[in-house]
Amino acid sequence: MLLNNHSYYSLRYGTFSEKELLRLAQEAGYTSLALTDINNTSACLNFIRLAPQYGIKPIVGIDFRNGAQQLYVGIAQSNQGFQALNGFLSHHSHHKKKLPELAPELENVVFIYPFEQLLLIEKTTLKPYEYVGVNLRDFKKIRFSTLYAQQNKFVLLQAVTFRNKRDFNVHRLLRAVGKSTLLSKLDVDDQAFGDEFMMPLDSLKQRLEAYPFLISNTQKLMEECEIYFDFSDNRPPQNKKTYTGSKAQDTALILQKCKEMLPYRYDKVTPQIEARIKKELDLIQQQHYVPFFLINWDIVNYAKHKGYYHVGRGSGANSIIAYILGITDVDPIDLDLYFERFMNLYRANPPDFDIDFSWRDREDVTRYIFDTFGKEGQVSLLATYNTFQHKGAVRELGKVFGLPKHEIDLLSSGKYNPQALDQYAKLVHQYAQHLNGMPNHLSIHAGGVLVSERPMHYFSATNLPPKGFPTTQFDMHIAEDVGLYKYDILGQRGLGKIKDALGIIKVNRPEAPEVDIHHVKPLLEDKRINKMVSEAKCIGCFYVESPAMRMLLKKLEVNSYLGLVAASSIIRPGVAKSGMMREYILRHKDPERRKKAHPVMWELMADTYGVMVYQEDVIKVAHHFAGLSLGESDVLRRGMSGKFRSREEFQLVKDKFISNCRTKGYTDQLTLEVWNQVESFAGYAFAKGHSASYAVESYQSLYLKCYYPLEYMVAVLNNGGGYYRAETYIHEARMLGATIYPPCVNHSNGLTVIKGSTIYLGFHFLSGLDTKTILAIIAEREQRGPYRSLDDFLERVHISAESLDVLIRVKAFQFTGINKRELLWDGYYKLNHQPKTIFQEPLFKVKAQQFEFPKLPTSALEEAFDQIELLGFSLINPFMLLKEELAVHLQVSDMPKNVGKRITLYGYLITTKTTSTTNKKRMNFGTFIDRSGNWIDTVHFPPVVARYPFRGKGIYQLTGLVVDEFGFLSIEVSEMNRLAYVEDVRFAV
């Protein structure tokens, strides 16, 4: 009977989930129900999926509104109708058009106009697909309307938006948030009516007693609606079914390509390789993954053709076919990658390939996919739901109640006394809890792309976010439920660094031999690179530069590719948390300890000393150790990553795991220990193929850093840095022998450039300079040669006084050899006496007036403060800025002989990392560099954090114990103080 029900996907309008809606309807005695969210279809599929569990026949539609004004409700009579509705809505939202007053005629769709709306637009004749929707408030009016003659067109259109009065309040708050207005200013027209509750079916029928035709008409309309999607375990995949157009051709193509490309990957094809290829191909065909592989291959091919770099990773990287086709670059035979991880007969979904591109190239690849496979709208990006979190909700509600900023800040920080709150603050606090977890708005999933056989509107309406690619309204979980599996096209900066570095090397080191960075075998065995890894000198290199990784590499003395592959997975939170990281290091260092491993575990994972490191180890252990079937193991693996739908199913598998272990005769202690290990993975661990792919990229960047360090550092700077701030990479470049200059009008570009071993920082570091000016400076220089003097520059470039000020102060005119204070006087004078606009180059150069300046000295300190102001950091050693010169003190190089002793070091703060201890207390890890530029790693336990918190950038005095853990030295800080800088000399009187 209810045709106009809203879930909270009626964004900033509805108040409860689609699941809750079903529960309410069941409770109230309904057997069929229509979900009609406002201009949205996010919840439709899940509604259809869940409805049978509640004994309800699902009907879906869309409540079409301009703002809060309800125009009409479209109800899909079939799947085609749903598609048509989605198309209609998407068309308008893509083009930002207002919805028309009159609904169009769509096949298998009925439109219900609210009675009041019909009166408003003075519509009296109804087409066959049009109905009059009456709500309970309209009863007193309908008899007097001319429409009343068409009684067979009248249906009940009573909305359901709330459960109770509190929901109504939440609704009003949401509306005020959505309209960004005050609650007290919210118009009545912008809210739903207060009576939109779910009424029990019996009492609703009682209310309708006088209008039996309403009941029968509504029931008839609902009976005519039928929508079906398959959500069962053996649902057919909805992805694009064929790559070439027919299955046979697809198979032929993949066989042909494999044959063609096999020699490139393997010089000699061993029987082992052949067997693996055959096994995979059979399974791929059996599971109908051929188009999935071919589309990935096509995408990668396009990228290669365009000269884009890519990394294929994810569980699909365990596949030999992917390796042969060039989707991935790791050899599964060589690395002994577990086949069942990426695919087995019991796994419902295809393997995932995450394909990384440089952040600059990704958009073009996405565009290519849309152009190639989405001619009829079969391609779209995936949405994610941005939900209200407590802090954000407090902020939004604070504004709705008109609280001033400082009060909102206080409320959202959570550091207040709940008893001392005033009335508004209490309300904010109370309702923020109700908003928690509700969807706030839709945004785009990081990399998911759907390529479907049918147009995407078959499943969902689409939005068009600013990037310009249609995006579904549901998220990846629902996509998987209905059988749509995403392709992951991601952007990362590491690839951009590698590509840029190669370009820079070509210019700066023309004598260097041509490098084929994709020919990785020699890189992996390069002694110099491996030495660098074992010393953890990896700043700037992909995935291995963080302090935690540096520590792990040192502890493990990683000096090979395989070691790095293991390290990349061990560093993940899951492994680290369960204490297995420590166990791994111990076993690595001490062969005796390896004997502690359980024989079955040892056999399964000999290369990682019987410790579970990779994601597939979960499957291996579950299958071989606990005797679960591969299908059950997969449930376990998915459960770990929180991707499971049903907790019960997961619990069943857990119980079976434990009971199987008992029957196998393992002790309970052992079983629980293994189970805990399995559980602690919690989806964080990498598949080995994935780790291996990352490690390849790490090696590529390590190679560049090893042989072309300066060029590589410049590439890092030009790709937005990495784990650390730009300053750290500049420091690293300096340590590697570069001379660093601030931006220079005659050398710098927008980005940083290197000439020989001299690095000129790019103009992009200067936040005070706008892009237009930067481009003008560079264009003019490229056209007519370098600038000869400040006068010459001012004649050729039209520049504002502020920009010139920035340039002079950062020493962009250092080449003139003139002191910058003189330049400032000169520059300001000339800018003030110059005509404002220059249309063309003057015919005769008028010699500008020259002045004699008195001596205007500048000091290095002044320089440093100017740099801190303009660049954000100084180019001199920060230790020079200390107010009091330090006495002779210990350096990092003194740490080894002081192990176990309390010493004091001085370090410039680079980065901190906060974690919480097992009893929820904050502890920190710090990274500093000492005066000579070496790294100091520190550990700050909770009492120290409480007493000596970090106080921002600067130099700290660090006192603490030197600890040697597996050969990695760090300081357990017991006292820490930030040292004062000298006063800013520029303003000192």
Partner 1 sequence: MYLAKNGRVIWNKANGIDNSPIIQYHERKSISNERTFGKDTTDIAKLKTSIAAMSDNLAYLLRKGNKLTSCITVKLRYSDFNTYTKQVKIPYTAADHLLTPKVMEIFDRLYDKRLLVRLVGVRFSALAGGNYQINLFDDTVKTANLYQAMDVLRNRYGSRSVIRANTFGAKTIGDSFNPFNGEPPTVLAHRTQ
Residues that bind partner 1 (CB under 8 A): 180-185, 399-406, 424
Q: Rounded to the nearest whole angstrom, what is the least distance from the CB of residue 169 to partner 1 in the complex?
A: 16
- From 120, 122, 116, 123, select the one nearest 142 (Cα to Cα): 116
Q: Rounded to the nearest whole angstrom, what is the least distance from the CB of residue 343 to partner 1 in the complex?
A: 54
By beta-carbon proximity to partner 1, the closer residue of 184 and 918 is 184
Ordered DSSP codes for 775-791: HHHHHHHHHH----SHH
By beta-carbon proximity to partner 1, the closer residue of 239 and 412 is 412
Tell how strand 69-76 and strand 109-114 pair up: antiparallel
Q: Rounded to the nearest whole angstrom, what is the least distance from the CB of residue 66 to partner 1 in the complex?
A: 23
By beta-carbon proximity to partner 1, the closer residue of 181 and 974 is 181
Query: Helix (H, G, I), strand (E, B), or coil: what is residue 156?
Result: strand
By beta-carbon proximity to partner 1, the closer residue of 25 and 403 is 403
Tokens for 460?
């969902």
- From 27, 22, 133, select the one nearest 74 (Cα to Cα): 133
By beta-carbon proximity to partner 1, the closer residue of 180 and 419 is 180
Query: Helix (H, G, I), strand (E, B), or coil: what is residue 49?
Result: helix
Are residues 361 and 308 in contact, defined by beta-carbon separation less than 8 angstroms? yes
By beta-carbon proximity to partner 1, the closer residue of 398 and 722 is 398
By beta-carbon proximity to partner 1, the closer residue of 424 and 828 is 424
Tokens 């302090």 correspond to 547
Distance CA 568, CA 698 (A): 10
Distance CA 552, CA 233 (A): 42
- From 225, 153, 168, select the one nearest 198 (Cα to Cα): 168
Distance CA 365, CA 356 (A): 10
Q: Rounded to the nearest whole angstrom, what is the least distance from the CB of residue 414 to partner 1 in the complex?
A: 22
Q: Rounded to the nearest whole angstrom, what is the least distance from the CB of residue 173 to partner 1 in the complex?
A: 13
Query: Helix (H, G, I), strand (E, B), or coil: what is residue 38?
Result: strand
Distance CA 69, CA 114 (A): 10
Q: Rounded to the nearest whole angstrom, what is the least distance from the CB of residue 175 to partner 1 in the complex?
A: 14
Are residues 106 and 123 in contact, defined by beta-carbon separation less than 8 angstroms? no
Q: Rounded to the nearest whole angstrom, what is the least distance from the CB of residue 423 to partner 1 in the complex?
A: 9
By beta-carbon proximity to partner 1, the closer residue of 407 and 791 is 407
Q: Rounded to the nearest whole angstrom, what is the least distance from the CB of residue 181 to partner 1 in the complex?
A: 7
- From 225, 911, 791, select the one nearest 550 (Cα to Cα): 911
Are residues 910 and 721 in contact, defined by beta-carbon separation less than 8 angstroms? no
Distance CA 5, CA 30 (A): 13
Tokens 């994709």 correspond to 518
By beta-carbon proximity to partner 1, the closer residue of 302 and 424 is 424
Distance CA 890, CA 499 (A): 41
Are residues 635 and 611 in contact, defined by beta-carbon separation less than 8 angstroms? no
By beta-carbon proximity to partner 1, the closer residue of 424 and 925 is 424
Distance CA 473, CA 762 (A): 41
Distance CA 786, CA 760 (A): 15
Q: Rounded to the nearest whole angstrom, what is the least distance from the CB of residue 176 to partner 1 in the complex?
A: 9
Tokens for 516?
């084929």
By beta-carbon proximity to partner 1, the closer residue of 146 and 180 is 180
Other CB atoms within a 10 A radius of the CB of residue 653 amount to 22
Q: What is the dihedral of CA 487, 493, 498, 501, to 10 degrees?
A: 150
By beta-carbon proximity to partner 1, the closer residue of 183 and 808 is 183
Let me know how many helices (H) and strands (E) the chain has, helices first. 41, 23
Q: Rounded to the nearest whole angstrom, what is the least distance from the CB of residue 412 to partner 1 in the complex?
A: 15
Tokens 């109640």 correspond to 401
Q: Rounded to the nearest whole angstrom, what is the least distance from the CB of residue 182 to partner 1 in the complex?
A: 5
By beta-carbon proximity to partner 1, the closer residue of 406 and 415 is 406
Q: Rounded to the nearest whole angstrom, what is the least distance from the CB of residue 422 to partner 1 in the complex?
A: 9
By beta-carbon proximity to partner 1, the closer residue of 399 and 637 is 399
Strand arrangement of the beta sheet that strand 487-492 belongs to: 310-313, 354-358, 487-492, 439-451, 379-387, 471-472, 462-463
Tokens for 83?
């598609």
Are residues 615 and 565 in contact, defined by beta-carbon separation less than 8 angstroms? no
Are residues 238 and 453 in contact, defined by beta-carbon separation less than 8 angstroms? yes
Q: Rounded to the nearest whole angstrom, what is the least distance from the CB of residue 127 to partner 1 in the complex?
A: 42
Q: Rounded to the nearest whole angstrom, what is the least distance from the CB of residue 185 to partner 1 in the complex?
A: 6
By beta-carbon proximity to partner 1, the closer residue of 399 and 638 is 399
Are residues 680 and 615 in contact, defined by beta-carbon separation less than 8 angstroms? no
Distance CA 185, CA 110 (A): 36
Q: Rounded to the nearest whole angstrom, what is the least distance from the CB of residue 188 to partner 1 in the complex?
A: 12
